[in-house]
Amino acid sequence: MIYNTVHARTGNLQVQHVDYWPDMDPAKRLVRPDEVIAEIEKIPSVDAFAPRIQTAALVSTEERTFGAMIQGIDPVRELRTSTLANVVREGEYLEAGDPEGALVGITLASNLGAGIGDELVFIGQGADGSLAAGKVIIRGLLKTGISEFDRSLIAASIETIGEAYSMYGAVTEIAILLKSDEDRGDAQAALGDGLRARGRDDAAVLDWTTLMPGVEQAILLDWWSAHIIYLALVLVVGFGIANTFLMAYLERIHELGIMLALGMKPRRLSVLVFSESVLLILAGIVSGVAVGAAVVTVFHRRGINFGDSAEEMFAEFGMSPIIHPLLNEQVLLSAVGITFIVSMLVAVYPAAKAAGLKPIEALRR
């Protein structure tokens, strides 16, 4: 699932308390992890999972106080499940067995006047209604580019946050990363059935499309936009190839007329013209794939830097302004197949014209 966009990749599914609504105290959305984890480990398509505690607090230094979103994480499991470590811009990622360490949004740290090594005190409300309080030491600063998280997020040890908020071993969510998003439906059904069989009706299995419908709509919009642009590109390429084949035919009409006058049958002449077109198509595809693959390989290693001016725009989506293109076999085969089919269809026209060519008319040109 994609629950927190502070993580560029946070998984495909999430287990939450079934009584979820936006204005509910996050610390009260409890999930007992033991039985849930036992069911998660039965699913072969699960690549990694990470229990989390999501809550809120007032965070203070000696002189300043700000509201913050507290996230208790298991540093080891989180490293496998999300890319939280990739957005640490200063300092270091949390180490296992560091109960006081914390990662803080870079804007929040600036507002608090704090830096690496400084101590923060947090106060909130525990899951049982008691006062939750504790302190953490800043180990690293997070810069996601998403203002909501940069100005409010604090990630610390799940044990430390759980103890401070009287969670008693419970968590508010468990994020699950699958080996492939294609397995999402089967994994969601299997995990839901397993939890119901254990009588765990208090836990809901939600996929990323349910948690973030806006992201799904953006992906669909991008998908259809890409196909419309691709269709327009295919039409342009098709007309270009048709023009090339037709000009090659018209420039050789006199030569083709001589061949007909020497006794070549119109059908064989048509096959000859079509075969030449096919050879040109194959030569173009092979050379195009070779050059394209070489260019993609070079820029995959070096990256395409869109510059500092585009950094903020890319950061809004949790992306780096340096893009590394990847040669995808499915896209490559699709492009080659469509180009080949369109070119073959276009090659039929000059071949048909050659079949109806009259020797006398051709020799006069």
Domain ranges of the chain: 13-211, 216-364
pLDDT tens-digit series, residues 334-352: 888 888 888 888 888 888 8
Percent of the residues in the chain that have a pLDDT greater than 90, as a whole number: 26
Checking if the pLDDT of 84 tops 50, the result is yes
In the prediction, which pLDDT does 22 show?
Answer: 40
The pLDDT-based confidence of 219 (bands split at 50, 70, 90) is confident
In the prediction, which pLDDT does 230 show?
Answer: 82
CA distance 200 to 294: 53
User: Residue 63: beta bridge partners?
Assistant: none
Mean pLDDT of 116-130: 91
Q: Where are the alpha helices (DSSP H) in the chain?
A: 33-40, 75-81, 106-112, 147-150, 158-164, 184-197, 208-211, 213-250, 253-261, 266-302, 311-315, 329-355, 359-364
Q: Which amino acid is at 160?
A: T
The pLDDT-based confidence of 21 (bands split at 50, 70, 90) is very low
27/220: higher pLDDT: 220
Checking if the pLDDT of 28 tops 70, the result is no
Would strands 203-207 and 13-17 be described as parallel, antiparallel, or unpaired? antiparallel
In the prediction, which pLDDT does 12 show?
Answer: 64
CA distance 302 to 290: 19
The pLDDT-based confidence of 194 (bands split at 50, 70, 90) is confident
Checking if the pLDDT of 259 tops 60, the result is yes
329/101: higher pLDDT: 101
In the prediction, which pLDDT does 144 show?
Answer: 79
**What does the mean pLDDT of the chain come to?**
83
pLDDT tens-digit series, residues 225-242: 888 888 888 888 888 888
In the prediction, which pLDDT does 317 show?
Answer: 60
pLDDT tens-digit series, residues 299-322: 888 888 877 666 666 666 656 677
The pLDDT-based confidence of 55 (bands split at 50, 70, 90) is very high
Determine which of 27-36, 57-66, 291-300, 337-346 has the lowest per-residue pLDDT on average: 27-36
Checking if the pLDDT of 15 tops 80, the result is no
- Do 203 and 31 touch, CB atoms closer than 8 A? yes
The pLDDT-based confidence of 205 (bands split at 50, 70, 90) is confident
The pLDDT-based confidence of 327 (bands split at 50, 70, 90) is confident
Farthest-apart Cα atoms in the chain, separation:
103
CA distance 41 to 31: 16
Checking if the pLDDT of 220 tops 60, the result is yes
